[in-house]
Amino acid sequence: MLSKEEIQKIFKTPNMAILKSLGQNFLIDETVLKNIITCSDLNKDGVVIEIGPGLGTLTEELSKKCKKVIAIEKDNEFAQMLEGKFENVEVINGDILQMNINELVHKYSQNGKFKLVSNIPYYITSPIIKLFLENAIQPEVIVLLMQKEVAQRICEKPGKLSMIALGVQVYGEPEIVGFVKNTSFYPAPKVDSAILKIKNIKREFSDEYYQKLFRIMKIGFSSKRKKLLNNLSAGLQIEKKEAEKFLNQTEIDLKVRAQELSIEQWEKLMEVYTTVET
């Protein structure tokens, strides 16, 4: 693993610069690195997608544990530096949010299976999670080193649920494997981090089902200070008495707020509304 001093030396060379716009913070804590590898449940026949490999610290360890690593790097200099460095690593210079995940998986994975393991740029945390969980071919496991506060929000239970928590928990089971101090990086970010693992990832229903479910959730969360009843009435453009009927049919308290509902209650509410609507 590269030390802080070694990283500083690298960035003294021409054409090399830490780009704050890309959220570049490099891991310098070997214990954290080992924890990421251990909880990723890697195997010698597996394929891993890594986003933002940077200087290749995590990339190198992943390459030792699996058959193929697809390292997607937006920074041109880093991509060139990593090219050909590891025998079983395919470096792709580009933006993951502009790529077709299905094409990547079909190209590099014979059985269509892969895992997502990354120290991701924090500013694209939500788009990355959304992209991979909503994709037709989902990862078997997702392990991300990410901002602590966001990881905690994702793992909340009914009573404190948010849209980002629901967006993850609809598809899989998130858990925080460990917390990481900001001093474990160079340069040190302003916030602490966490290792988030999402397991048992699955798509049980059609795209249309999830579209309807997330639509009703977004309406429910449209105004956090208001009761769910009022948000449904305004968002669905129906009378409050009609919205009361939907809640009564699903045995949901009329005084409840969106963050208090479980996924099962959201699903029941969506099904009741869809039945009436059609």
Q: How far from chain centre, in Å, is Cα 175?
A: 12
Q: Quickly tell me which residue has 């360890």 as its tokens.
A: 61
In the chain, the amino acid numbered 149 is E
Q: How far from chain centre, in Å, is Cα 81?
A: 26
pLDDT for the residue 49: 98
Taking the model in full, what pTM does it have? 0.92
Residue 112: HSE in the Cβ half-sphere, 13 Å Cα cutoff:
5
Show the DSSP H helices in 99-206 as ranges. 101-108, 125-133, 148-154, 163-169
Contact 135, 200 (CB under 8 A): no
pLDDT for the residue 7: 80
Domains and CATH numbers, the chain: 4-199 (3.40.50.150), 207-277 (1.10.8.100)
Give me the average pLDDT of each 10-residue run along the chain (278 residues).
81 63 78 97 96 94 97 92 94 95 94 95 92 96 97 96 96 98 92 97 95 96 92 93 92 95 96 76
pLDDT for the residue 277: 63
Pairing mode, strands 26-27 and 47-51: unpaired
Pairing mode, strands 89-93 and 68-73: parallel
Beta bridge pairs of residue 225: none
Spatial CA neighbour of 36 closest among 183, 181, 180, 204: 180
pLDDT for the residue 14: 61
Rg for the chain, CA atoms, rounded: 21
**Three-state DSSP state, 276:** helix
Separation of alpha carbons 150 and 193, rounded Å: 9
pLDDT for the residue 18: 58
- Distance from first CA to last CA of the chain, Å, rounded? 59
